[in-house]
């Protein structure tokens, strides 16, 4: 059995995907993993639209492509301010993003995670900042699905850029008006190596000891 820590530490954002079909039993296991995810009060306010038809995938690609290239202009401007080594990595990421935008319709499966806000206890909705709590009952299922995809040898990436044209996405996939889209995850077997060791900040940077700002040791 694959070690869960190995799966987490090698789960890369894989944007270059082959068009080869994903067997139904493999896809079922990925969806089952998503269904096992914890949610607030076990309400499971999310659903996932499993997009496989060429027509529906093309509709999503037609929304995603212009959204990506609009976003990429700002990405390039920020990347140009980085040190050379980081800027070089940024250019590679940009190229991978371009590939996904131009080839999204070729992915054999696109998972669209949606949720009904009425089923969520969004406890920060009235705070004087951007609300962030609601996604906590959805992104656990997204992460479970992506870890399962990694275990099955599938490439995947989480994107939210489709939200820039959410009305068009809802229309294409017949999502109810009062539901929200939270994540789009293209799935497919990787072009090339795909997953591998990832680069992240250290826990000494990310974790604090008892109070904010005191480094974990």
HSE-CB of 70 using CA atoms within 13 angstroms = 9
Nearest to 192 by CA among 92, 114, 101: 92
Per CATH, domain 4-206 is 3.40.50.1110:
no
Alpha-carbon span 70 to 76, nearest angstrom: 11
Nearest to 184 by CA among 133, 145, 127: 145
Q: What burial letters (b/e) apply to 35-69, b meaning 16+ CB within 10 Å?
A: eebebbeeebbbebbebeeeebbebbbebbbebbe
Q: Is the pLDDT of residue 214 over 60?
A: yes
Rounded to the nearest 5°, which phi and psi values hold at 90?
Answer: -60, -40
pLDDT of 73: 84
Query: Among all chains, which residue has been given the structure tokens 């040791």?
Result: 217
Each residue's pLDDT tens digit, 29-53:
999 999 999 999 999 999 999 999 9
Q: Which residues contact 84 (CB under 8 A, 6 or more apart)?
A: none
pLDDT of 2: 59
Across residues 141-159, what is the average pLDDT? 97
Contact 127, 155 (CB under 8 A): no
Split at pLDDT 50, 70, 90, the class of 79 is confident
Instruction: Say how far residue 142 (Cα) sits from the centre of its chain.
Output: 7
Split at pLDDT 50, 70, 90, the class of 1 is very low
Please state the pTM of the whole predicted model. Answer: 0.93
List the chain domain ranges: 4-206
Q: Is the pLDDT of residue 112 over 90?
A: yes
Across residues 55-71, what is the average pLDDT? 95
Could you say which DSSP state residue 17 is in?
Answer: B
Split at pLDDT 50, 70, 90, the class of 20 is very high
Alpha-carbon span 119 to 54, nearest angstrom: 32
Contact 111, 49 (CB under 8 A): yes
Nearest to 166 by CA among 175, 158, 157: 175
């Amino acid at each position: 059995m694959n070690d869960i820590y190995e799966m987490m530490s090698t789960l890369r954002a894989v944007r270059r995907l082959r068009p080869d079909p994903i067997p139904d039993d493999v896809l079922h296991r990925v969806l089952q993993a998503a269904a096992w995810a914890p949610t607030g009060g076990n309400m499971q306010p999310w659903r996932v639209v499993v997009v496989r038809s060429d027509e529906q995938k093309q509709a999503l690609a037609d929304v995603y492509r212009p959204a990506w290239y609009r976003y990429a202009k700002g990405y390039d401007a920020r990347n140009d301010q980085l040190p050379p080594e980081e800027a070089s990595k940024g250019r590679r990421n940009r190229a991978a993003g371009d590939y996904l935008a131009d080839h999204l319709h070729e992915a054999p499966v696109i998972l669209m995670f949606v949720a009904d806000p009425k089923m969520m206890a969004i406890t920060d909705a009235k705070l004087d900042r951007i609300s962030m709590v609601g996604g906590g009952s959805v992104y656990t299922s997204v992460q479970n699905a992506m870890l399962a995809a990694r275990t099955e040898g599938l490439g995947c990436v989480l994107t939210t850029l489709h939200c820039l044209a959410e009305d068009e996405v809802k229309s294409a996939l017949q999502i109810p008006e009062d539901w929200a889209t939270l994540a789009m995850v293209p799935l497919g077997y990787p072009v090339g190596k795909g997953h591998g060791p990832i680069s992240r900040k250290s826990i000494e940077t990310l974790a604090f000891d008892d109070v904010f700002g005191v480094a974990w040791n």
